[in-house]
Structure 1
Amino acid sequence: MARPSADSTADGNPLTRLTLDELRQRTSVKWRMHPPDVLPLWVAEQDVPLAAPVADALHRAIDLGDTGYPHGTAYAEALGEFAAARWGWHDFRVDRTTIVPDVMMGIVEVLRLVTDPGDAVVVCSPVYPPFYAFVGHAGRQVIEAPLGPDLRMDHAALDDAFHRARARSRRPAFLLCNPHNPTGVVHRRDELEALAELANRHGVRVISDEIHAPLVLPGAHFTPYLTVTGAEYAFALISASKAWNLAGLKAALAVAGPWAAADLHRIPEEVSHGPSHLGVIAHTAAFHTGGQWLDLLLDGLDANRSLLETLVAQHLPTVTYHRPEGTYLAWLDCTRLGIATAHPAGAPGVASDLAGPAKMFLDRARVALSSGHVFGTGGAGFVRLNFATSPTVLTDAVTRMGRAVEAFDPPRA
């Protein structure tokens, strides 16, 4: 019997569809890392059912036994259509793309193309912890250009970092997080154009991680880095992973600027063997037919963003909430709580490290958050909270956190 097709718009807010009991049946890292009494608001997984167009595409593949190797350019074509409709990226070129296993592995492959072992890679800290880990594992050195007090890119800090990177490297690079994780900042076109001018002046190749690009909330607009003047030698890595909750279905696209296409074509052919065929099917369906579901999600995230602001003001008045412009990640400044952040040995970006406020909230509130210090310089004393959950879970979590703060007596010096 044929499987009925689901209506992608019939179910309303995807964030309110699943109960906590249903979510606890999941076997992914978000729901298995901690005991059942913990509310997990840490890793970037969403508490949503699979979007109906994606589920339909996967069910069809399973029913057909279509579980072989990926082929063709349907994924890139779907992204091109989505990018034109959502971001005005009308000169997107399928022939300047290649499929890679996921965004971070794609970044490593591009780094291998445009940098040498030992070369410097600049990042704007605090930033996504795997930037540190993957760059280090690839034999490159991280140089930090800390964000400004407003959590936006600091032109002077970038200039200094690029100068230092050029001094110690023949072929330096910059990893841009666009939108920025963990702060939720969505970079403006003028900021990106200033970055491009600075990178070109110093001879620094830019690689833009745009995995959160579809998750820009009302009030902001996403600008693909490859659409700005001066980005002709740059690269972008994009997937549907974060927006449609497809982290377990591996597939991403590396996209080259017009003058970087020859570099991209040097990626070894065997890299394209890494993506899952089911992953390619799922990501293609998300970009091609998942727009209505995404709009419902964005409405729900916008509501949660405002709810979180209210909850923090009510239950955590000494915590500063930096209202994100994009992503579903909130960067909470807990420095006024007076909780010392230990700095475990080793490089930043080790996601297993838990210290400071995040440890206190896990131990005393049974709420799992990402510990700010693993995001590099500027992260100590902060936590990252994933608000892609139901309003009920979000309310319970912040209420628990507030009670924990009221009962916590930080050690005196």
Structure 2
Amino acid sequence: MTRIPHAMSDEPNPLRALGLDRLRRRTSMKWRAYPDDVLPLWVAEMDVPLAEPVVRALTDALALGDTGYPAGTGYAEALAAFAEKRWGWDGLAVERTAIVPDVMLGVVEMLRLVTGPGDPVVVNSPVYPPFYQFVEHMDRQVVEAPLGPDLRLDLDTLDETFRRVTGGGRRAALLLCNPHNPTGTAHTADELAAVAALADRHGVRVVADEIHAPLTAAGVAFVPYLSVPGGESGLSLMSASKAWNLAGLKAALAIAGPAAAADLARLPEEVSHGPSHFGIIAHSAALRDGTGWLDALLAGLDDNRRLLADLLAEHLPAVAHRPAEATYLAWLDCRALGLGDDPAEVFLRRGRVALNSGTPFGTGGAGHVRMNLATSPELITEAVRRMASALD
């Protein structure tokens, strides 16, 4: 596959567009969960204005009164064109897609197709906390196969875990995070092909959460799970919500590999009633016409990753940190600071900066925090300054 991870853009960096006063007027979770004296660098919302093509598409729909029920395959067609141009992947077949309300509800529906009540679902911890919450709520058993010390997939651990959970012919699934949240690891084609081979050997079905797919660092390629040898029986969830900050405009796509088409065909029709028509309009516009804005964002995120590395080296040298290959998240190992299992609580109480605690991410999360870098350089600088002051 010929991939174009991202290119130079003439558009301004959207991460520098909004000041703190304007951001505090927002009513979404990021800006309403804490008092005004707290800097919120936690939940995965971005401090950016909407891409102009998205604003235009929504404004045009409002002017038309186009606020009814969703119809057609425009979203899937937009994603397929984006995937071919961006990732060199021409295997996203529109006829093997279905609209779902959002990625995590789509994950639930895909797991229902390939597992039953009580069946094990393997996750690679530390991992996005809703993987635990949603899977347990749907009466499946979460089984951890932790990442290795290098924060990459540990294939030996995965092999042993698959062998254990499928003993006696039991059904099982792997809920794969690609790219990985919170570490920002972009799994390689070789790693994903090895996962597919292990899954095939043990009879494990793979469901891939690929919501962060467009958000790669310079020089890093995203590899769709369904594109690798052996991925044909997988199911993937994708969305424009993370890359274009559209979480409040609900829509996502479930995508089946060629060998999983019959599974996706069993998806109940009523699931397609969940996505918002406005969400589909917004996501489709982003994928079709918002790539210039995305490239400007990606360049800004590259700058922010370098800035964070410099700030930590200067103010918090004991914090271990690997710059992420993807996502707009940073996973910080604070164990050397002596702040216990939940350093986020200390940074909030003493420094008035809100980060995600590592403990809900499962095994490997204690002593860590997750920082959201999708904000201005000024707020990142102030956040690290406050974190350092919390140690005084």
Q: What TM-score do the two structures reach when normalised by structure 2?
A: 0.97
CA distance in 1: counterparts of 2:292 and 2:176, whole angstroms = 28
CA displacement, residues 126-164 of structure 1 (integer Å, 9 cap, x when unaligned): 000000000001100000001000000001110111112
CA distance in 1: counterparts of 2:193 and 2:52, whole angstroms = 38
Contact 1:120 1:168 survives alignment (8 Å): no
Q: Secondary structure at the match of 1:255?
A: strand
CA distance in 2: counterparts of 1:392 and 1:277, whole angstroms = 36
Determine the structure 2 residue equivalent to 1:262. Answer: 262
Are positions 1:384 and 2:374 aligned together? Answer: no
Determine the structure 1 residue equivalent to 2:5. Answer: none
Letter in 1 for 2:226: L
Are positions 1:99 and 2:99 aligned together? Answer: yes
CA displacement, residues 156-194 of structure 1 (integer Å, 9 cap, x when unaligned): 110111112102772200000000000000000000000
Contact 1:304 1:387 survives alignment (8 Å): yes
Letter in 2 for 1:248: G
Q: Secondary structure at the match of 1:174?
A: strand
Contact 2:11 2:292 survives alignment (8 Å): no
CA distance in 2: counterparts of 1:218 and 1:148, whole angstroms = 24
Contact 2:97 2:254 survives alignment (8 Å): yes
Determine the structure 1 residue equivalent to 2:82. Answer: 82
Determine the structure 2 residue equivalent to 1:347. Answer: none
Aligned residues: 384
TM-fit CA distance, 1:205: 0.2
Determine the structure 2 residue equivalent to 1:21. Answer: 21
CA displacement, residues 15-34 of structure 1 (integer Å, 9 cap, x when unaligned): 00000000000000000000
CA distance in 1: counterparts of 2:11 and 2:219, whole angstroms = 25
- Which runs of structure 2 are paired with 1:8-407 in the superposition (5 Å)? 12-167=12-167, 170-341=170-341, 356-405=342-391, 407=392
Determine the structure 2 residue equivalent to 1:6. Answer: none
Contact 1:119 1:169 survives alignment (8 Å): no
Gaps of 5+ in 2: 1-8
CA distance in 2: counterparts of 1:185 and 1:82, whole angstroms = 22
Contact 2:358 2:366 survives alignment (8 Å): yes
CA distance in 2: counterparts of 1:31 and 1:160, whole angstroms = 43
CA displacement, residues 229-259 of structure 1 (integer Å, 9 cap, x when unaligned): 0011101000001000000000000000001
Gaps of 5+ in 1: 1-8, 342-355, 408-413
Q: Secondary structure at the match of 2:321?
A: strand
Q: Secondary structure at the match of 1:54?
A: helix
Q: Secondary structure at the match of 1:326?
A: coil
CA distance in 1: counterparts of 2:139 and 2:34, whole angstroms = 32
Determine the structure 2 residue equivalent to 1:352. Answer: none
CA distance in 2: counterparts of 1:107 and 1:319, whole angstroms = 34
| Percent identity between the two aligned chains | 65
Letter in 2 for 1:276: S
CA distance in 2: counterparts of 1:89 and 1:67, whole angstroms = 33
